[in-house]
Homo-oligomer: A and B are copies of this chain.
């Protein structure tokens, strides 16, 4: 018995008519001989409505009650999807998280799935059920309370079910038809990728390409779940969408697979910091305590015992970071002359597993930007990624120039 997992996001189940269209896709996979586990999100807009109720009722809400309220949207879609499939004469039933049960940690609002026993659903499959419809995004804590997995959590639900049922594939139906070499709104030359490696997808997801929840990609990588991203709209064939898979299943030989970017980065510089051993800890300790997520860090060459320290962070954490650093200076643990924040920056990254075997990617990237007259403020690299911080006004130019330079519009 081969199990296929299909996940439909909020826009794919936004109306009864769209639920019917999604159910038809499920019906085709049943006709292909699969048992299908369908993971559904809430109808788009419903979760936001519920979150709005909670925030208006209690700005500092009890996360357990938040979860009890916001999880209800998925329950509605799951029941409606099961009814729609039944109308098509496909044996189906719905499952809420606690019914499976999807066992999670007690970290309400951001719970992690710990275990999905497969016996209840398998027994129903054995009795003739063809489709199990499961409410995504939710689970149940060891205390028997409802938990949610955080925004985008239905992707993670889908991958976790695919792992638990050893599924042949996990298809994520969404409002885009796959993963692109870059955002088509920035570069019209953007090309849909047929395949992408888990590690590349992870870098892209965390860099701001909002196709899949990062955690779902981590989970798919760990459990070797074949993950496919494809559109709920328009006709599909088996080769549709983008397959996120193991590195060895990828044939492309290019050093770079995609160009990512993020506008939500700010740059902060501490000027004339007294340079001494332990200075990095004196700066980043207080920031960490204040919950600031520092990304890139550059320390300038030290002169006469003083140095400048530059780092990047999410724009919405700048005020918190400034307070933490000024407090640290006032407390005497940190000595700097000035603190300068710059919100008009952007991060641009090239990502590709090919970098492991092909050298010269960094120097080529820097030359391309230099030729366009774009100044690089900060650089970070990983094994399969090079990121630069630049003035935000040059972001689109940089993305297009890099897309051209690495010939991403051409399939290899």
Chain A interface residues toward B at CB < 8 A:
16, 19, 50, 53-54, 56-58, 61-62, 64-66, 68-69, 72-73, 75-76, 78-80, 82-84, 86-87, 93-94, 96, 98-99, 144-146
Structural contact, B94 and A65, CB atoms closer than 8 A: yes
Complex contacts, A93 vs chain B, CB 8 Å? 62, 64-65
Q: How far is the CA of A76 from the CA of B93 in the complex (A)?
A: 23
The distance from the CB of A133 to the nearest CB of chain B, in whole angstroms, is: 9
| Known A56-B16, A96-B68, A99-B144; contact A61-B76, beta-carbon cutoff 8 A | no
A69 to B72, CA, bound (A): 9
Copies of this chain present? 2
Q: Are B94 and A82 in contact (CB under 8 A)?
A: no
- Chain B residues with Cβ below 8 Å from A62 are 82-83, 86, 93
Return the contact of A57 from the options B53, B58, B83 (Cβ within 8 A). B83
- What's the dominant secondary structure at chain A's contact region? helix
B19 close to A57 (CB less than 8 A): yes
Which residues of the partner chain B approach A80 to less than 8 Å between Cβ atoms? 53-54, 57, 65, 69
The reply to whether A68 and B53 contact each other, CB–CB distance below 8 Å, is no
B residues within 8 A CB of A73?
72
With CB as the reference atom, state the residue of chain B lying closest to A82: B65
Contact A16 B58 (CB under 8 A): no
A69 and B64 within 8 A (CB): no
Quote the shortest CB–CB distance from A158 to chain B (angstroms): 20
Partner of A79, one of B56, B69, B76, B82: B69
B76 close to A69 (CB less than 8 A)? yes
A75: nearest residue on chain B (CB-CB)? B72
A84 to B56, CA, bound (A): 10
Shortest CB distance A219–B (Å):
27
| Given A64-B93, A65-B82, 15 more pairs with CB closer than 8 A | A16-B57, A19-B57, A57-B80, A57-B87, A62-B82, A65-B79, A65-B80, A65-B94, A68-B75, A68-B78, A68-B82, A69-B79, A72-B73, A72-B75, A99-B144
Closest B residue to A60 by CB, please name it: B87
Give me 11 A-to-B residue pairs in the complex whose CB atoms sit less than 8 angstroms apart, sorted by A's number.
A16-B53, A61-B83, A62-B82, A62-B83, A62-B93, A65-B83, A65-B94, A68-B75, A68-B78, A69-B79, A72-B75
- A95 (CB) vs chain B CBs: closest residue: B68
- Chain B's nearest CB lies how many Å from the CB of A108? 12
From B50, B75, B144, give the contact of A69 (CB < 8 A). Answer: B75
Give min CB distance, A258 to chain B, whole Å.
40
Q: Which of A57, A62, A78, A94 has the most CB of B within 10 A?
A: A57
CB–CB A84/B57 < 8 A: yes
